[in-house]
Amino acid sequence: MKGTFPIQQFAELQTPFYYYDLELLRHTLHTICTEAGRYDRFAVHYAVKANANPKVLAVIRESGLGADCVSGGEIQAALRAGFPADRIVFAGVGKADWEIKLGLDEEIFCFNVESIPELEVIDQLAAQRGKVAQVAFRINPNVGAHTHANITTGLAENKFGISMEDMDRVIDLAQSLRHVHFIGLHFHIGSQILEMGDFIALCHRINELQDKLEARGILMPHINVGGGLGIDYQDPNGHPVPDFRTYFATYDTHLRLRPGQTLHFELGRAVVGQCGSLISKVLYVKQGTNKQFAILDAGFTDLIRPALYQAHHEMENLSSEADAQVYDVVGPICESSDVFGKAVSLNAVHRGDLVALRSAGAYGEIMASGYNCRPLPVGYTSDELQVSIKNIK
């Protein structure tokens, strides 16, 4: 089945551009709030890194989610969109001084700290301002995730977080510093995870760590398990909304929260992934020796995921119902990695046809670059184009 798109309105717009189906986004957010709302101690933050388009952020903020930021720019974007500072968490292995100062001045909820030197700098900068920063430690749980090597983060060899061996030392240090207040532990094992077993392994590891800390009389009010829930890139129409019920139930079943603890999540892809498509125009159909190419006006500057992670995005020819043919779908960038898909079956393609690259709402527009002096793609929403899309089955 094809997705439903306002093709007439599309004809007026300069391609390539991103299109966000806000009806689907609102439906997804409603599902998240309903499913997380079954558990009174679950708090969900949106990982701004997935998509910081202001129109998308505004809808997410309306739903009441908090924000997970990884840079000063993301904190500013979240504040501009109206996320309350006391619902903002700030992670990142290399926080610059100005970014830490911004977080302190805005009095964000929590810094997810990734090293001892960072903890010391936060303490110093907070002291200069006469403030006390709330900190959680990102612990590297040495739990693998069944996902692409570039987006697994929870193994000991990754640059992220503090090792489990160092955890006690860091907590002791925090308790000796006067301008930081230790409030929790933070974890994130990777992205595009579809096997609940990976999250279960994380839960078991957190249970072990909490048992050890409890034996030392250390209890904390917050546990943050990061994000990582994947989406169905193969079948965006069949599964427009990820299975949040199973995801939250998995944590409820396997993680032993202590009395009074809140469990935080930082979901990015699962929130925005399916609501966005990259819409591109076919420039040329070129016959090769053994194959034919559909050459689009979008390239990896607009959507880098296929080139960087060999990611699959479903493609649809929005302008044709003709019998399908097989194409290598490529972009115009002067690099041989600028390929969206090989041997892709599309309704027969002609110059000027519009092609949708689906499931591009997360890590699409936000990762666009100006390489080859190309303009950045614009993002349009269904609200703006005043259409009612019914592509939720």
Q: In the complex, which residues of this chain contact ligand LLP (CB under 6 A)?
A: 47, 49-50, 68, 91, 151, 153, 188, 191-192, 226-229, 266-270, 305, 309, 362-363
Quote the tokens at residue 389: 């899309």
Closer of 228 and 379 to ligand LLP (Cβ)? 228
CB of 187 to ligand LLP, least distance (A): 8
Closer of 104 and 362 to ligand LLP (Cβ)? 362
Distance between CA atoms of residues 201 and 255, nearest Å: 10
Which of 176, 205, 186 minimizes the C-alpha distance to 136? 186
Q: Do 147 and 181 contact (CB within 8 A), yes or no?
A: no
CB of 303 to ligand LLP, least distance (A): 9
CB of 51 to ligand LLP, least distance (A): 10
Closer of 124 and 310 to ligand LLP (Cβ)? 310
Closer of 295 and 315 to ligand LLP (Cβ)? 315
Distance between CA atoms of residues 248 and 261, nearest Å: 16
CB of 112 to ligand LLP, least distance (A): 7
CB of 30 to ligand LLP, least distance (A): 18
Q: What is the DSSP letter of 374?
A: P
The count of C-alpha atoms lying within 13 angstroms of the C-alpha of 230, restricted to the half-sphere facing its C-beta, is 21
Closer of 10 and 90 to ligand LLP (Cβ)? 90
Closer of 81 and 272 to ligand LLP (Cβ)? 272
CB of 239 to ligand LLP, least distance (A): 16
Which of 334, 291, 340 minimizes the C-alpha distance to 315? 340
Quote the tokens at residue 208: 């072990």
Closer of 126 and 231 to ligand LLP (Cβ)? 231
CB of 353 to ligand LLP, least distance (A): 26
Task: List, in order, residues 6 or more apart from 94 with CB less than 8 Å away.
Answer: none
CA 78, distance to chain mean position in Å, is 14
Task: List, in order, residues 6 or more apart from 311 with CB less than 8 Å away.
Answer: 148, 233, 305
Q: How far apart are the first and last CA of the chain?
A: 10
Task: List, in order, residues 6 or more apart from 237 with CB less than 8 Å away.
Answer: 1, 2, 3, 391, 393
Quote the tokens at residue 184: 């929790």
Closer of 303 and 349 to ligand LLP (Cβ)? 303
CB of 250 to ligand LLP, least distance (A): 15
Distance between CA atoms of residues 240 and 27, nearest Å: 10
Radius of gyration of the chain (CA): 22
